[in-house]
A = this chain, B = another copy of it.
Amino acid sequence: MDKKGILIVVSGFSGAGKGTLMKKLLEDYSGYALSVSATTRAPREGELHGKDYYFISRDEFTGMIRDNRLYEYTEYQNNYYGTPRAYVDEMLASGKDVILEIEVMGAENIKKQFPDTVLVFVTPPSAEELRRRLLGRGSETPEKVRGRLMRALQEADYMDRYDYILVNDDIDACVKELHNLICTEHLRMSRRSELCGRMKRELESLNGGREQ
Contacts and interface: CB of A to CB of B under 8 A. Distances in A.
Interface of A: 121, 123, 126-128, 130-131, 149-150, 152-153, 156-157, 159-160, 162-167, 177, 180-181, 183-184, 187-189, 192, 195-196, 198-200, 202-207, 210, 212
**Which of A121, A196, A212 has the most chain B CB atoms inside 10 A of its CB?**
A196
A203 B166 contact: no
- 6 A-B pairs with the lowest CB-CB distances in the bound complex, closest first: A127-B202, A180-B180, A184-B184, A153-B203, A165-B192, A164-B187
Contacts of A160: 189, 196
Contacts of A128: 202, 206
A130 B121 CA distance: 40
A167 B195 contact: yes
Given A150-B212, A196-B160, A212-B150, A131 B188 contact: no
A4 to B, nearest CB: 14
